[in-house]
Amino acid sequence: MTMTNTDLTRKLNFNAGPAALPAEVLQQAAAAVLDYDNSGLSILEIPHRDAAFVAIMDESRQLVKELCNLNDDYEVLWLQGGGRMQFCMIPMNFLGESENAGYIDSGYWAESAYKAAKYYGNAQLLASTKDINYTHLPMWPAQLPAGLQYVHCTTNNTIYGTQLHTTPTCDVPLIADMSSDIFSCHRDYSKYAMFYVTVQKNLGAAGVTLVVLRKDLMERVKRTMPDMLTYKAHSAQQSMLNTPPVFAIYVSLLMLRWTKARGINAIEAENIQKAQLLYSEIERNSVFKPVVDVVADRSMMNVCFIAHDSSNEKAFIDFCATRNITGIKGHRSVGGFRVSLYNAVSLTAVETLAQAMHDFEKNRQ
């Protein structure tokens, strides 16, 4: 069986995460489950110390550095526990009990990272837009307080549909959660001391978290902890301190190869087209309105909008279902709709959605 992105049996998937994957990646993953690389074994049956898996790890680390244009000052780790575990490991490793760290609160995930850090040291909020339900990005302080060990931010706010389109200047180590917009656009990764990605949005299947950090940061461990909680220990064991999630890492490798083959230039250009198409239909259409008013803060990955008349919300979701469109319901804290336009979502899929919005409006008149 072959499967393509235009396969009519496949739904147009706009879910926020786990999310759409390219048809060719699904196909390669499916084939590897049956027989990995003509080995007579499934990818699910290969010991993680085998040469076959060590090669998967090596290639994946190398591709991350290449796509991020980073040198050997950086370490690439594949860890478990999701984005949420990183919220804990960052302060455990880098924030001493009486030390300070700064957090930019741009949404639910950013705030969760801040709350986790408070258990370990003096985490300070540098800016927040919580009081306006995160409808635009917070302003970074013109000057950072003295003595911060690091500043933590979130580049794309998956729930609220806002995205940081520039890299802030920061004279202390900058740590970013890039879970929902990694490789969606050009970015100077060398400006970040560390970034991490729970992969089920834009880089694979749930079960693994990509962590990239500067080796000198990794050395600044502030407390003695079990190895499982210490970046340095994971690094010393090449992310094989415990049995790594072999299959999830393999799917991420397939995504990395797919990303490299398309090129970040082409991916970014198409992401801009997809986002412009959808935002302009929302603006034009009399049924809908955008949630994020500040155009410069709008996310290219998660597009949030509502219906002027909320009784149209369920009706539009039902209408979309008849056109094979799924995953557009907004997060409960925002309501309305959230359409995720991750790298694997095609322009054709977005065109189909925009057409459905257009036809829905027409039917109401």
Ligand X SMILES: *Cc1c(COP(=O)(O)O)cnc(C)c1O
Catalytic residue among 78, 105, 181, 201: 201
Question: From the list 10, 80, 82, 319, which residue makes contact with ligand X (rule: CB under 6 A)?
Answer: 82
Judged by beta carbon, residue 109 or residue 250, the one nearer ligand X is 109
Through-space distance between the first and last CA atoms of the chain, rounded to whole angstroms: 43
> Cα–Cα distance between 117 and 241 in angstroms, integer?
24
> Cα–Cα distance between 242 and 36 in angstroms, integer?
22
Question: From the list 105, 177, 270, 297, which residue makes contact with ligand X (rule: CB under 6 A)?
Answer: 177
DSSP string, 151-189: EEEESEETTTTEE--SPPP-SS-EEEE-TTTTTSS---G
Angle, helices 246-262/51-68, rounded to nearest 10 degrees: 40
Question: From the list 109, 258, 316, 337, which residue makes contact with ligand X (rule: CB under 6 A)?
Answer: 109
Judged by beta carbon, residue 5 or residue 135, the one nearer ligand X is 135
3-state SS, residue 14? coil
Under the criterion CB under 6 A, does residue 84 sit at the interface with ligand X? yes
Question: From the list 179, 235, 252, 285, which residue makes contact with ligand X (rule: CB under 6 A)?
Answer: 179
Q: How far is CA 45 from CA 38, 69, 79, 307, in A?
A: 13, 33, 20, 49
Under the criterion CB under 6 A, does residue 163 sit at the interface with ligand X? no
Under the criterion CB under 6 A, does residue 230 sit at the interface with ligand X? no
In 10 A of CB 136, how many CB atoms?
17
Shortest distance (Å) from residue 98 CB to ligand X: 28
Judged by beta carbon, residue 36 or residue 196, the one nearer ligand X is 196
> Which residues in 189-218 contact ligand X (CB under 6 A)?
198, 201
Tokens encoding 172: 């202390």
Judged by beta carbon, residue 162 or residue 230, the one nearer ligand X is 162
Active site residues: 109, 177, 201
Q: Which residues bind ligand X (CB under 6 A)?
A: 17, 82-84, 109, 154, 158, 177, 179-180, 198, 201
